[in-house]
Amino acid sequence: MTGKTWAYEDFVEGASLDLGTKLVSAAEIIEFAQEFDAQPMHLDEAAGKASILGGLAASGWHTCAMFMRMLCDAFLLDSTSQGAPGVDQVRWKKPVLAGDILSGNTTVLAKRLSRSKPQLGLITMRSELFNQRGEGVFELENTVMFLARDAAQGPS
């Protein structure tokens, strides 16, 4: 647990963290859909074009998974995260299409220490993903638990 860059104390209300970028390939859209969401608009370019989504589009659950990977790579893996109890809200605002380049950020909305476990802090965050045209495609709000730095550096 020692040596993590991000502990509870390091999250500042109002601060925004960059989630980097992610190119969404047709192959990975199809791969995810074959396993979890085998609808034509997630499997086939022509079917996607003919659908309300307008092209080969990622499953919304795939977008959630891609967001999770961006969050992991941006800071979560290098943090004292203890997991999240859930997600308050996800909005799939626009289709994520093959060839899109996603970027994003996570804003710290609020933070507080747990009343029952004072070594544990709760960070409420709002995350957004945008496509290469700057259009918001995805929004997520949730609370993630992080150990305070002293707790993280003590014996586990």
Partner 1 sequence: MTLDEFFCIGITVTLGSHTFEPEAIKAFARKYDPQIFHLDEEAAKKSVFGGLCASGWHTAATWMKLNLETGVEAEGVRWAGAGPAPEFGPSPGFKNLKWLKPVYAGETVTFTRTALAHRPIMSRPGWRLLTLRSEAFDSTGDKVIEFESAVLVKMG
Backbone angles phi, psi at 79, to 5 degrees: -135, 175
Window of 19-27, 62-70, 100-108, 124-132 that interacts with partner 1 by CB under 8 A: 62-70
Show the CA angle centred on residue 130, arms to residues 137 and 91, nearest 5°.
30
Buried b (16+ CB within 10 A) or exposed e, 18-40: ebeebebebebbbebbeeebeee
Q: Cβ 89 to partner 1, closest distance in Å?
A: 4
Nearest to partner 1 of 90, 108 (CB atom): 90
Instruction: Select the residue interacting with partner 1 from 18, 35, 78, 135 (CB under 8 A).
Output: 35
Nearest to partner 1 of 11, 146 (CB atom): 146
Interaxial angle between packed helices 26-36 and 60-71, expressed in degrees from 0 to 180 and rounded to the nearest 10: 110
Q: Cβ 107 to partner 1, closest distance in Å?
A: 18
What is the C-alpha separation between 154 and 29, in angstroms, rounded? 43
Q: Cβ 115 to partner 1, closest distance in Å?
A: 18
Instruction: Select the residue interacting with partner 1 from 47, 84, 124, 126 (CB under 8 A).
Output: 84
